[in-house]
Amino acid sequence: MKKCLLLALFSILGLSASLGQVSPYSLAPDWYFGIGGRMTFPSGNFPTSGAPTTSTMPTNNSVGVEASTDVCFKSGSVAFYTNSQQVYNANPANASWNDYIRSLTTDGTCAGSSTGAGVSFPDPASPTNAFYLVLANDVTSGSCNHAGVNRYRFTGTGTSVVYNAGQTLMAPDAFAGEAITAGTDGIGGYWVVIHNSGTANTFRVFHFTAGGITTLADQTVGAAVSDVSGSQSYLKISPCQDKIAYHSGGTLVVHNWDRTTGTVGAELRRITPASYGVGLEFSPDGSKIFYSGQASAVTYVDIASGTSGNVTSSSSWSMQLGNDGKIYCSPGGASLGVISAPNTAPAYTTLGITGGGSTFRGLSNIAWMTPDKPVITATLGSACNEYDFSFIFKNYFNGDIGIDGTNITWVWGDASANTTNNATPTHIFPAGSGGPYHVVLTFKDSKCGQTWTANIDVTITCPAPVELISFDGVASPGGVDLIWKTAMELNNDYFDLQRSTDGIHFYSIAEIKGAGTSNSTLSYPYRDKEVTSGLVYYKLAQHDYDGTISYSKIVAVHFDKAGSTPVVVAPNPFSSSFVLSKIFSEAATVSVYDIYGRLLEQKVTSAEEFSLTLGEGLANGSYIVQYLTGSNAYTIHVEKK
């Protein structure tokens, strides 16, 4: 019997987290199954409102096997489906169903009777347009020659899909039963789990990631299961991806499942059905397991307590949880069985397939996929060290995934306390440039109660506490008019205006209050009435609230520029060096100081020497050149840019 996977593909995409259902997370609205059967849900998000509709797809797909494996694009359109022998383009608008994407029988592939023997999911390395198909019942008989578990790869866009890569053997025929399932690892990869029909309590797990495919060591877990036949078995992972169940022969076992490590854990419940397994499904909350055997009743068991009951005395060959929270069954013929309220009080009704379609004892086998991981967004706030945070948590089809608002923790990576139970906090990091600060988010989803984590590194790049646009001085009859402008200020307490007559030794003449913190352009005018002649120098010492001091460039103001000094400096500003030229024939000592008064360079010139080169190797900045003769001293302000 053939059973199929309609893939619910998941990823973490944009939009901030909001309340809503988590499990099942999402699936495309169409299922394709059996012979000409199609069911369309009102929405791709869980839970849907309103009843699904059934209809038939175009003819010529009646291959006679029992179910199908569907795979979808993010738009919800079905990319392809397969009955394990042929792969079809599943675009409902395309009536050319005779034109297979690939007839797998030409590869020697046959998975004839396959209750749950096919799974499909996106390639993690190319999740929007590449898909894997893994067939577990690839038997050897007749024209078939690929005994074992084999994988195939398809690529496409929109509703157009092409066969991309042929059969690759993943496990030998000892594993070639029907029991296969798939789930996500929570970080963008996928697990494929198969049961060894030759060793009744052994599982093999494959890990599909963007970096490739790895095979875990075989896991032999618990007591043996009575295996009637590898082609009469079933394997399922629960919607919250925390349990896994295997049904074959007269035994059904439920184990813990770890989606982060791909590990089959301790046995939770062992059940002894009257018939071998042809149907298996978990309730949406994972508390109950539903099962059926060939020509036997549909039964459920409470996993924790062991309490059981029949849903219907009719048989079901396969069953699948829908995105409306109901379980659908395949009794065969032109109808579907519908189990309502599977979490609490299961009740059974039927839904007819219009247009002559049939389940043919098969139904889509949807492996519920959990999301990859949440993603943090950080937006600069009103200050350079302030950020607004939020996180996005969505499924593959862009549906919101609910969060538990009482289980959110932000760790900021600095010395501040954690922030709890706030999905969109604002955080102020330490003042000044710094980091990176490693911000870590942990929270739980609102349905499955699973813990999720995300992280982001934030580097604070603050400009200087005060961004000085200009600082100028002009000689006037009433003194020296000084003005400086700032583009922004951060924690600016005050400016200390300082004066010097030699450009080396400065003293304070005024204290001007700063604006604190500002992002506007501000101007500060000041008139120094005490100076009305000669050459004078000014600079600013800017003081932060925390005591940090930064200095401006030095401004020189000449009241009588002509003949104020017996030397000429050119070029000024300079880029590599400058030349000092003397007017008079006199011996002198020439010294170059930085703005802190430190001697950087000194040369002695004779009376006959009228020029010398200075400033080579200096960094960009302001400097004072002192020209000292036996009777006079002059200073010149120079700048390297």
* pLDDT means over runs of 10, the chain (641 residues): 27 26 48 77 63 67 58 69 67 48 60 62 86 74 62 80 79 75 85 80 92 94 68 82 86 92 95 78 92 82 94 82 86 87 94 79 68 85 90 74 92 94 94 87 88 92 79 82 87 92 86 90 91 86 85 77 66 86 80 86 85 88 87 83 86
Would the pTM of this model clear 0.75, i.e. be above it? no
Q: What pLDDT score does 210 carry?
A: 92
Q: What pLDDT score does 376 carry?
A: 95
- For the chain, how far is it from start to end, CA to CA, in angstroms? 82
Nearest of 254, 322, 259, 440 to residue 50 by alpha carbon: 322
Nearest of 237, 207, 121, 190 to residue 372 by alpha carbon: 190
- Counting Cα atoms < 13 Å in the Cβ hemisphere of 190 gives 26
- Counting Cα atoms < 13 Å in the Cβ hemisphere of 461 gives 3
Q: What pLDDT score does 53 carry?
A: 78
Q: List, in order, residues 6 or more apart from 404 with CB less than 8 Å away.
A: 443, 444, 445, 446, 449
Q: Which residues pair with 206 in a beta bridge?
A: 192, 215
Q: What pLDDT score does 440 carry?
A: 97
Maximal C-alpha separation, the chain? 122
Fill in the DSSP letter of residue 354: G
Domains and CATH numbers, the chain: 30-356 (2.130.10.10), 375-460 (2.60.40.10), 466-558 (2.60.40.10), 567-640 (2.60.40.3080)
Type of residue at 126: S
Nearest of 243, 301, 254, 295 to residue 274 by alpha carbon: 295
| Integer Cα distance of 151 and 118 in angstroms | 10
